Amino acid sequence: MKILVYSDGQPASVKALQFAAQLTQSLGADLSVITVRSETHAIEPLPQVGAWTDLADFSQLPSGLQVLAHARNILSEEGLVTGKDKVQIRELPNGHFFICQDMAGRSIPFYVCFGHILETINHEIAQHHYDLLIVAPPNRGRFHKMVLGDITRKLVLDAHTSILFVRQGRANSRFIVCADGSVAAKRQFPMLKMLLPAISPALEFVFVETPDTDETTVQTATHCLEEARKWVTGCDKPVKVHYLKGEKPAKVISSMAGEDAVIVVGASLRHDVYRRLRGSLPIQILSLAAASTLVVKALPEEQPGDLFDPDSCKDAFL
């Protein structure tokens, strides 16, 4: 699994880095760290490219590299990165980077890039094929969202990989999976297969029946939940299944999750205009939930019949 974690140096980013460290350690994943500066190279002083730089005194570094040095310190506190302070700054076409080592000797690149945040992140995703982007965007008031735009909504709509929005839940929290048997819901299972070794509590599946839900939808969801329960049980993992009722599924799921949880939801493939004007279930949950939310955007790589096979799941633990 390849993980990209974004940090802007703000307090909220610490949670994203801590979550990324926990997943990287549990899954043996490949991790990269990125910060994006909206300015150009000319705005910040140039670092000493090629020279060995001491991160212990990062106040002397350009602002973008200060953010990365702070991120490296957080990962070190989490026991992921070795304690060596000196790194070699190298050039990128649109920024700079340095590389640290984790405790297993794997490389962790730290990138500072200049440009538009969404375009830059999508460029990195396309170049390095990340499976998961981890971010912790700050909560903004309605005025700031109108003036500056809502980066959370932009990422849900336009980022080119699955995204974990970190709020209160952590890697060892409850994972609550929204499963109704739809294409969007099935999209979650290949991601869940990768994440299973890191999930310690019971994996919880939930379906919310609304007053206008038709019988076919209920039957489809029931079948999906039962197959998912068998799959997780066959992988020797605890599982819970919740059948709930309510007028607004996003509100019911957010209330059920509370704060110490990770809500998992598949991205909608409804028409773009519909998603932007009315909002999909992931956008609705993100606007309500205090818990962390994982929005799975990747297309399923396996048929459900193959995925719901205990042998395919157990391979993840080998």
- Total count of domains within the chain: 2
Q: Are residues 121 and 209 in the same domain?
A: no
Q: Are residues 6 and 123 in the same domain?
A: yes
Of the residues 165, 197, 215, which one is the last residue of a structural domain?
Answer: 165
Measured distance CA(147)–CA(163) in Å, rounded:
24
pLDDT at 309 over 80: no
The lowest-confidence range among 36-45, 114-123, 206-215 is 36-45
139: confidence class by pLDDT, cuts 50, 70, 90: low
Q: Is 114 exposed, middle or buried (0-12, 13-18, 19+ CB in 10 A)?
A: buried
Q: Are residues 19 and 157 in the same domain?
A: yes
CA 141 to chain centre: 23
CA distances (Å), origin 122, targets 60, 125, 128, 162: 30, 5, 10, 11
Q: Are residues 215 and 303 in the same domain?
A: yes
Amino acid at 81: V
CB atoms inside a 10 Å sphere around CB 297: 21
Q: Are residues 44 and 137 in the same domain?
A: yes
Of the residues 145, 165, 185, which one is the last residue of a structural domain?
Answer: 165
Q: What is the pLDDT of residue 304?
A: 45
Measured distance CA(219)–CA(228) in Å, rounded:
14
Provide the residue range defining the domain that includes 60: 2-165
Of the residues 165, 189, 221, which one is the last residue of a structural domain?
Answer: 165
Task: Give the CATH number for residue 226.
Answer: 3.40.50.620
Q: Are residues 155 and 251 in the same domain?
A: no
CA 64 to chain centre: 22
CB 206 within 8 A of CB 167: no
Q: Are residues 72 and 178 in the same domain?
A: no
Measured distance CA(129)–CA(119) in Å, rounded:
15
pLDDT at 199 over 50: yes
Q: Are residues 124 and 40 in the same domain?
A: yes
